[in-house]
Each structure stands twice: as structure tokens, then as C-alpha cells.
Amino acid sequence: MKILLKTISVLTFALIATSCGEKKETDAYGNPVEEKKEATTETTVDPLLAKGQELFEGKGTCTACHKPDVKVVGPSIKDIAKIYKEKGASIASFINGEGETLVDASQYEIMKANFVITKAMTPEERKALEVYMMSLE
Ligand code: HEC
């Protein structure tokens, strides 16, 4: 019995000792120092960007007619983004059927057919497509 008590008191002591050891770091004034978050050098990537690319290549089927650098059926993404940037226009609005054609009015009918897809998207999805396209300029 005596040994058991002794063991318990030793254990208790050990416990107190270790919990004291876990003292938080303090600054020169004794104030607790918050753990510093690791400084990240990575630039934060807009979460909409990845989503936009996914929609562009997937559900939107935009890749069928738009490639980043070359004109296929439709103008290249970079050509579109450049003009939209210059004019301060919004792709998200265009693909929602608002706004006018700024790039190639003669081919507008072909593009217009896709509004069925883009108008059924959420505003966030249209914005994601815009973020993706504008990132390629
Ligand atoms: C069937 C081919 C085709 C598909 C698919 C297509 N486009 Fe187009 N797109 C065109 C053509 C052709 C034009 C040029 C006509 C024009 O500028 O309006 C164009 C033009 C555009 C423009 C510039 C509009 C302007 O102001 O002149 C944007 C922005 C655009 N497309 C976005 C998209 C997005 C986003 C998708 C996918 C949801 C998509 N397109 C799918 C053919 C297509």
C-alpha cells in the first residue's frame, strides 16, 4: 500500500512538473507570444481561377472553340482578355447575355448559342470563367 501511494505521488509530481514545462513563450514584458505563422512566399491563387479553368474545359465546353494562344473557331482567350481589359468590360456579364460583342461581331451568332450553357450557370461560375480567361492575357 505504501509503495502504491508513493508511486501515485511520484506520478502526480511528474505530471505537475511536465505541465509547468509547457509554459507559453513570453516576450520581454511577460506577455504571451503568439506562435508566428509561417511566412508564405507563395502568391495566393484565386480559388475562382481553378474553378474557372475546370468549367472552361468541362461543363462550359469553351475549349472546343477557344484556345489560349491561337484562334480556332473563336478568338484566342488572350485576344479576348486583352480587349476586355482595354475596355474595362466584364466577361461574366457578356456570357450572361448582358453587354455587347466587343471582339468579333461577325461571328457573334456562333458564340451566342453558348449562352444557353452560361446563363444556366450560377453568377459565381460565370465570374470564375471570367477570372480564368482574364488571367491568360
Ligand atoms: C461553338 C464555338 C464556341 C464555343 C463552344 C464558345 N465560344 Fe466564345 N466565341 C466564339 C466565337 C466565334 C466568338 C467570336 C464572336 C464574338 O466576339 O462575339 C466568341 C467570342 C467569345 C467572347 C468575346 C465576346 C465579345 O465580346 O466579342 C467571350 C468572352 C467568349 N467567347 C467566351 C466563351 C466562353 C466562356 C465559352 C464557354 C462557356 C465559350 N465562349 C464557348 C465561339 C465559341
- Return the CATH number at 78: 1.10.760.10
- Assigned domain for 83 exists: yes
Could you tell me the pTM of the whole model? 0.76
SS3 per-residue string spanning 10-78: HHHHHHHHHHHHCCCCECCCCCECCCCCCCCCCCCCCHHHHHHHHHHHCCCCHHHCECCCCECCCCCHH
State whether the beta carbon of 114 lies less than 6 angstroms from ligand 1.
Answer: yes
Q: Which domain holds residue 88?
A: 47-134
Phi, psi of 107 (to 5 degrees): -105, 10
| Residue 54 to residue 22: CA distance in whole angstroms | 47
- Assigned domain for 37 exists: no
pLDDT at 24 over 90: no
What's the pLDDT at 29? Answer: 82
- Asked if residue 59 lies in contact with residue 117, where contact means CB atoms within 8 angstroms, the answer is yes
**pLDDT tens-digit series, residues 89-106:** 999 999 999 989 999 999
Atom of ligand 1 at shortest range from CA of 60: 38
- Asked if residue 95 lies in contact with residue 66, where contact means CB atoms within 8 angstroms, the answer is no
State whether the beta carbon of 83 lies less than 6 angstroms from ligand 1.
Answer: no
- Assigned domain for 94 exists: yes
- Assigned domain for 38 exists: no
What's the pLDDT at 63? Answer: 98
CA of 44 from ligand 1 middle (Å) equals 29
Q: Give me the mean pLDDT over the 1-29 stretch.
A: 59
Structural domain count of the chain: 1
